[in-house]
Chains A and B, each alone.
Chain A
Amino acid sequence: MANSESKEYWRWTESRWTNPDLDWKDGDIISAGVDVGSVSTQSVVMVDGELFCYANMRTGSDSPDSANNSMNWALDGTGLPLDKIEYAVGTGYGRVNVPFAKRALTEIACHARGANFMYGPSIRTVLDMGGQDCKAIRCDHRGKVTAFLMNDKCAAGTGRGMEVFADLLQIHINDVGRMSLVDVEPEPVSSTCVVFAKSEAVALLRKGWSKEKVLAAYCGAMAHRVVTLLERLGVENDFAITGGIAKNIGVVSRIEKELKVTAPEPSIDPQLAGAIGGALFGKALVEKARKKA
């Protein structure tokens, strides 16, 4: 591609982690969730419902490969072989293409379940801001979905839209949120469409706006876009955000301000919510099967 030579500002940091306090050999139920999204893929392994290891990486052009790669990376150095995982659940855009999964579940169900685990049972509204879609989800105290709305047709309000802006302004995606926190909040970018917002941003830069101010205007527009989705669904407290954009303080703080709510600070990478939900469903399915037997 034309831009492959230049610096990739959109490229967020891939990561993996192993729980130092957990030995899988002591566990009873080892379950996994693999969330193959349109932009990122996460593999999470849980031992008796506790996080054991995970990997978070960019989705490749092939879903089964992406699932295998991320799981291999998650298991790397843990000594846990793949066949010791009793139940793996696939979720996300490529959920039916996870070779080692016994079942595919929707990311709506998995994100609500994952948010329940990550932020506690008081969460009633989850906003999942993914790479190529955005979902507003209402759930009960067990993380069971009661209603949802979703935009998967338009890049406005998705991670991909933010990546386009990072590239345009040549600011690394990890720095976008922090840099957008300016003293005087500008009017949000008026175009909804990312393509048109880009032209608008170029015109603003020509007018002499700083990159920070343009980022503020775009983060504000993105926040407003998802708030309209949330308001159509209705927001009940407590409120939490999952997905990659949950790490963008520029968007999160503006959503909080517009909705007059507070989203809890994530203690675990919020991109993992779907895969965590999948792993928890996997554990529940094992328990159910054992009860029957």
Chain B
Amino acid sequence: MTTIGIDLGAKNTKVVILRDGEILTTASVLSGFDQKASADEAVNNALRNVGIARDEIKYITATGAGMDAITFANDTVTEISANARGITAVFPSVRTVIDVGAEEGRVIRLNENGKVVDFGINEKCAAGAGAFTEAMARALEVDLEKMGEMSLKSTKAVPMNAQCTIFAESEVVSLIHQKTPKEDIIRAVHDAIADRITSMARRVGIEKEVALVGGVANNIGFVDSMTRNLGYDLLVPKDPVVPEFIPAYGAALLAQDELNGG
């Protein structure tokens, strides 16, 4: 039994192909203007990876901001459900999922059966999403991928006063003019987004274990700031999938559940 989960996010479209509970392959493409075309491309890339024909797929479940555009999907589920299903399969002990994507942040609280108890979403403000670190990387003229590593080399905590991404850009520029080391500025950037996410998580209620998912969880500097905020280690998925694939994985599992009779 082969199923597909598609997560059409603001920045990337992620696909997971699942056969009898095992991940066969994953694929990710940039989400273009034509969302359905992006979904098609990601699915075709994944199918090509493992040499499977499209008609072998029994069920496709879509999630993510652009899920409604994927007209060829059999079903859609919210990012909340997809995250809950995906993380429970990887870390059954998790009670709080923190998902930070390109344009949204989510905190989901689960019970011992992996059912959603409560959640909070920020989709209004870039300051609590990946768009914030991206904008700061641009202002700093540093590769986004290098931000994590660089911030771990910081030797001094410098304050960031701005919350707003637009204002923080100006603040970063003036910190550069003041000859503040980039490493310290980057740490301040990660502390700022971590503070925003943490305060949303506290409103929802944080219960151990806590998992970090979504693309921003790949940023070790952000993980470090979150760890400092919470005072204990967080779980970041690595196997069988990396953080940004958790919702697509969850969607593929939900597709399989559907075929198994819910």
Contacts and interface: CB of A to CB of B under 8 A. Distances in A.
B142 interface: no
Contacts, number: 46
Contacts of B141: 2
Given A193-B125, A193-B126, A195-B135, A164 B33 contact: no
Given A2-B141, A61-B177, A154-B125, A195 B167 contact: no
B167 A196 contact: no
A195 B165 contact: yes
Q: Is the interface of B mostly helix, strand, loop or mixed?
A: helix
A132 B167 CA distance: 8
Contact of B164 (A1, A61, A154, A206): A154
Contact of A196 (B33, B103, B163, B177): B103
Contacts of B164: 153-155, 194
A203 B173 CA distance: 28
Given A1-B173, A61-B177, A206-B33, A193 B124 contact: yes
Interface residues of A, number: 20
Contacts of A194: 164-166
A203 B35 CA distance: 12
Contacts of B167: 132, 155, 160
B213 interface: no
B131 interface: yes
A61 B176 CA distance: 11
B146 interface: no
Contact of B125 (A38, A192, A203): A192
A173 to B, nearest CB: 15
A60 to B, nearest CB: 10
B239 to A, nearest CB: 33
Interface string B160-171: 000111110010
B138 interface: yes
A132 B164 CA distance: 10
Contacts of B125: 154, 192-193
A8 to B, nearest CB: 14
A161 interface: yes
A199 B166 CA distance: 14
Contacts of A155: 164-167
A192 B103 CA distance: 13
Interface of A: 1-2, 38, 61, 132, 153-155, 160-161, 164, 191-196, 199, 203, 206
Given A61-B177, A196-B124, 9 more contacts: A1-B139, A132-B170, A154-B125, A154-B163, A154-B164, A155-B165, A155-B167, A195-B131, A206-B33
20 contacts: A2-B141, A154-B164, A155-B164, A155-B165, A155-B166, A155-B167, A160-B166, A160-B170, A164-B166, A191-B124, A192-B125, A193-B125, A193-B126, A194-B164, A194-B165, A195-B126, A195-B131, A195-B132, A195-B166, A199-B103
